[in-house]
Amino acid sequence: MSRREINILSAGAVAPGLKKISAAFQRDTIQHVNVTFATAPAIPERLDDSAPIDIVIAPPVVLDDLARSGKISSLGRVLLGRIGVGVMVRAGVPQPPIATVEQLKKSLLDATSVVFNRASTGTYLENLFQRLGIGAELERKSIRYPDFAAVLEHVSRGENGEIGFGATTVIVENVDKGVAFVGPLPAEIQNYTAYEAAVVENGAANTAAMQFRDYLESPAARSALAQSGIL
């Protein structure tokens, strides 16, 4: 089998598990995997770039929209799993109570600012704050960034009393970068986003890409995903 580079465009929330899987796949095969991460809303724009893409990993609704618009024609999808929303604060500061909905509401109202992204997590949070009846109060102190990297940077260098949000997977992955994982949202208001991998029909490395897609369903890959918090 000739060596072909598999180019993957993926939502960033699955990065912890996908990095492990890609490394293992490259060790077990002669294929090379090149992964580019982007927020789910930015993936359609990235597909307009000239760089070839063989696999897209995103929430099903994003893949459905890409298929309807003709940007991708899929040769088949596989479910990686689903990821919830988590809470973080700057490392070393007191952690706010968030175990119950009422505790979370009070902690958010007491926070100096609330920091989250403009991707699917941020959209869910804005709607959640409205449902909880605290949307107006939080709007005045909400800070939104294009992606989690900017949220992480802000919270890690921010003031006492700031609360940040992100996918549980990427918060846990970055606890050595100045933030502490407080915990997931309470179960009754948790939001899980599913992520699927789709092989792009007109990709340059279809055979290798389908091999990687099948690898995603292997016991080794499933174990790596579970260990990264992708359920």
Angle between helices 15-28 and 206-215 (to 10 degrees): 110
Domain 5-82+194-227, CATH number (from 3.40.190.10, 3.30.470.20, 3.40.630.30, 2.50.20.10): 3.40.190.10
SS (H, E, C) 122-184: HHHHHHHHHHCCCHHHHHCCEEEECCHHHHHHHHHHCCCCEEEEEEHHHHHHCCCCCEEEEEE
Tell me the C-alpha distance between 126 and 133, whole Å.
11
Mean pLDDT throughout 99-114? Answer: 98
Burial 190-208 (b: 16+ CB within 10 A, else e): ebebebbbbbbeebebbeb
Mean pLDDT throughout 97-107? Answer: 98
Mean pLDDT throughout 113-120? Answer: 92
Each residue's pLDDT tens digit, 3-62:
578 999 999 999 999 999 999 999 988 789 999 999 888 898 888 776 789 999 999 999
pLDDT, residue 203, reads 66
Architecture of domain 85-189: 3-Layer(aba) Sandwich (3.40)
Please choose, from the candidates 126, 156, 147, the residue with its C-alpha nearest in 3D space to the C-alpha of residue 138.
126
Structure-model confidence comparison of residues 99 and 204, the more confident one = 99
β-pair partners for 143 = 115
Each residue's pLDDT tens digit, 59-93:
999 999 999 988 887 778 999 999 999 999 999 99
Kindly tell me if the per-residue pLDDT of 2 is higher than 60: no
Q: Is the dihedral of CA 40, 105, 173, 222 positive or negative?
A: negative
pLDDT, residue 206, reads 79
- Unique residue bearing structure tokens 């990821």: 83
Residue 86 vs residues 64, 98, 174, 183, 215: alpha-carbon distances, Å: 26, 10, 12, 6, 28
Q: 22: which 2 tokens?
A: 């890609």
Query: pTM score, two decimals?
Result: 0.83
Please choose, from the candidates 224, 216, 229, 223, the residue with its C-alpha nearest in 3D space to the C-alpha of residue 56.
216
- 108-122, 169-183, 203-217: which has the minimum mean pLDDT? 203-217
Kindly tell me if the per-residue pLDDT of 205 is higher than 80: no
Range(s) within the chain of domains with CATH label 3.40.190.10: 5-82+194-227, 85-189
pLDDT, residue 119, reads 83
Burial 20-37 (b: 16+ CB within 10 A, else e): bbbebbeeebebebebeb
Each residue's pLDDT tens digit, 117-176:
988 889 999 999 999 999 999 999 999 999 999 999 999 998 889 999 999 999 999 999
Mean pLDDT throughout 103-123? Answer: 94
Please choose, from the candidates 9, 78, 73, 77, the residue with its C-alpha nearest in 3D space to the C-alpha of residue 202.
73
CB 183 within 8 A of CB 99: yes
